[in-house]
Structure 1
């Protein structure tokens, strides 16, 4: 670390909150502001995986200077302002410093590219140079999940993750968690985990969620199982400090839920149930109410989808009991919707309506800093979409179609899968409500999205719509929809 101009103790000083950045966020929640950042990135052709946690770390001062991708996005969002105006340190003040020597990292890791520097780094930044305090999107050539340092490479990695096989996928799955393949196979990692492994685990959860938002679950589930195995291998190996162990347990639990959701959305209900149960056990072992509420939330959703509505109600109510002290009205709103779905499955219209009213009232309280990071998908569109599903289950097709149409219209374009889901719901409600021509038009929009989205749930819904429309072949557009639907590859 000869090029460093600071002592090794300086990077460990307490972070200074970035009040300027907090002011520009205004009344938006961290999750809402993160969505604006992602949208601005798309406008200028950048790719950032910004989420509520990243915004929180910026505001806490943990990220002193953003990487180049985020810099371009922030300057695009706030024209005329500099990084300094947004509360960041100037790049020249951090350029050339080596990565922090992680107090938790084993000595064997201190020679890795992310932990070394040379005098040349003080002159110009290159790939592999770690900007202090920026860990979410650092340009690390050893992290195949980092899709920000090279757009062409990111496309290759995404395609490998979606459709590839063999060594390419294995490398993309295992490397982010810092374990060699032979150590994982043996189930005995050679080193105890430190903050680098915990951060990589957290990033794996974000990447899986991001890919699912864009492409659906079917192409991801099998590949996502490898990082989950790695996560539990890390837990078995132990951590260097209790704080790291807590992060690993939380990361493993969230990853289990993410992998469980991929199984759920691709129709593998038994696998999903197992993963959710694993996350719930992890939450209870560590006494983490937020993780427990998340696991119960997904368990309720799965129970509804797999024909166990009474279990859905019980799981949703359990989630609400656990989540109430957390202080997130938006979380309580989502959990009320999960309960409403269970009541609808029991054909209890009164119970469903009461839960829906509660969900809407809680949602109306607005976002807050206590909202969990994983809830970034939950906005007005999702509220409308879940309500549509309740009315559809109760057989009120007209009301269901109205809410599904609103959901598709309101959804952020980033969530391609959800747009396809809501539009498929709309098509089915219209078909069952006696409006075959409108149903066919909506169905065609879903078919247009299936090149990007792989979801057994959506394909199953579309198949049901096609069956309902069969007697209406002569209606405008219906025969075209049926012919195009019939040409789809069979689900395996």
Structure 2
């Protein structure tokens, strides 16, 4: 119970739910169960796993869920491209954020918590009607509002990963030398949610605005591990969550050009995985290590890390994961100028991808769809100097990308601009570069800015080509990330 609830003298009377008629219309002739199955299929397409059933659809249509959690939001926007939550009949997130049922009767107008039911361990969906809700889960929902405030400080690219309430408090206590309470289930939930939130914000805004503050939650997570959980299942989840958070923070460092920091974070995650025998975490750490090695100019290390990731990932049963790892290997072979080995890895990646998603696909792979497949292949051909083929794949990647992944749209379009410029098509390159500049008020990514700067240098001798001078002038006027 929050302090405002304790001090309120006049409880807010319950109001009747307002049915979501728009959502009901979108369901059409399908039964709630059929529509729920379609939601689950759509979730798998973008790497989400939601336990949607007919009862959930009924609650949405009855107006009991005024705004879905972030996992469902991504799924619904994937199912109905070009629409917003309000277009789907939901209330704006800002109007319901932090509101929660205060009495048994006030179940209407609830903000659905973050829980996506795809975390390790048993999951219990939130429902104010159910009296078996555990204290630990209730604590997690109370904390989720703090997590939202910690991670979002405004619109556009003004984002931050400030101290996470339950984790941050544990870390503060440790730093002050005071006894630290033993972490429990709600800490594991909060840690897993922190990882999801960082990934969500990176998808939309890029890494630069996040990395400056992301190390504090990571230190807090490892302070929880030092405190020691009572139950082994909780300890395992905390280790897995801390490892995934280390990879997420490492990626923020990687994407913002801090390669040494990224290498350290990935190594930390790999050590955590090895210590606990977590094959999935180890595969993820090797996957990112391979990507970093490629970007840092160590292609042979990229190949070896990608191959190590494939060895440990093979028993996990995820064709999509193996597809991504094959692409990581292809990137290394391209860096070694081994076209034959690169092409073989690309074919293997495509074949594995076509097997489709499965329940074994890791949660962190939500970014990996057809657009990312095309984008990574474009990078391979670009490294090999085949600019026309690289441009073709980059263009397709930008066209296929879900609008949610703003950062990736900027990345693929920047790749396209560079490939076009180097392939002797300066006017088209300038037009693509302009589209990237249009996105920079939403995206803070040193990777994107570095690529765009390279494109500008290539275009300098072509100032007289259509649109090039305008692009160069606008690019030169852009503020640079510190």
Aligning the two structures, in what range does the TM-score lie when normalised by the shorter sequence? Answer: 0.7 to 0.9
Partner of 2:37: 25
Question: How far apart are residue 190 of structure 1 and its match?
Answer: 1.9
Partner of 2:203: 213
TM-score under structure 2 length normalisation = 0.76
Change (3 A) 1:328 1:282: same
Q: For structure 2, which runs of at least 5 residues remain unmatched after alignment? A: 2-30, 81-98, 116-123, 128-136
1:388-443 superposed Cα distances (whole Å, 9 cap, x missing partner): 00000000000000000000000000000000000000000000000000000000
CA distance in 1, matches of 2:41, 2:112: 32
CA RMSD in angstroms, aligned pairs only:
3.6
Question: How far apart are residue 490 of structure 1 and its match?
Answer: 2.5
Partner of 1:473: 463
Q: Work out whether 1:262 is the aligned partner of 2:252.
A: yes
Q: Work out whether 1:483 is the aligned partner of 2:473.
A: yes
Partner of 1:394: 384
Partner of 1:121: 103
TM-score under structure 1 length normalisation = 0.75
Instruction: Summarize the alignment of residues 30-49 of structure 1 with structure 2, pairs less than 5 Å apart.
Output: 31-32=43-44, 35=46
Question: How far apart are residue 68 of structure 1 and its match?
Answer: 3.6
Instruction: Summarize the alignment of residues 78-117 of structure 1 with structure 2, pairs less than 5 Å apart.
Output: none
Q: Work out whether 1:70 is the aligned partner of 2:52.
A: no
CA distance in 1, matches of 2:181, 2:56: 27
CA distance in 2, matches of 1:366, 1:480: 43
Runs of 4+ off more than 6 Å: 59-66, 71-78, 126-132, 135-139
Instruction: Summarize the alignment of residues 194-205 of structure 1 with structure 2, pairs less than 5 Å apart.
Output: 194-205=184-195
User: Please, which of 212, 229, 239 is the counterpart of residue 239 of structure 1?
Assistant: 229
Change (3 A) 1:360 1:181: closer
User: Please, which of 48, 53, 59 is the counterpart of residue 52 of structure 1?
Assistant: 48
Change (3 A) 1:323 1:62: farther
Partner of 2:126: 134
Instruction: Summarize the alignment of residues 90-489 of structure 1 with structure 2, pairs less than 5 Å apart.
Output: 121-125=103-107, 133-134=125-126, 140=141, 142-144=143-145, 146-147=147-148, 157-159=152-154, 163=158, 172-177=162-167, 179=169, 182-186=172-176, 190-489=180-479
- On the 8 A contact 2:164/2:217 being kept in 1, the answer is yes
Aligned residues: 408
- On the 8 A contact 2:426/2:465 being kept in 1, the answer is yes
- On the 8 A contact 1:128/1:139 being kept in 2, the answer is no
Partner of 1:102: none
Change (3 A) 1:437 1:62: closer
1:451-489 superposed Cα distances (whole Å, 9 cap, x missing partner): 000000000000000000000000000000000000011
SS state of the match for residue 444, structure 2? coil
CA distance in 1, matches of 2:179, 2:215: 17
CA distance in 1, matches of 2:306, 2:140: 40
- On the 8 A contact 1:62/1:134 being kept in 2, the answer is no
1:220-260 superposed Cα distances (whole Å, 9 cap, x missing partner): 00211111111000000011211100100010010000000
Question: How far apart are residue 179 of structure 1 and its match?
Answer: 2.1
SS state of the match for residue 159, structure 1? coil
Q: For structure 1, which runs of at least 5 residues remain unmatched after alignment? A: 2-18, 36-50, 79-112, 148-152
Change (3 A) 1:330 1:403: same
SS state of the match for residue 400, structure 1? helix
- On the 8 A contact 2:146/2:164 being kept in 1, the answer is no
CA distance in 2, matches of 1:189, 1:482: 58
Question: How far apart are residue 299 of structure 1 and its match?
Answer: 0.2
Change (3 A) 1:388 1:199: same
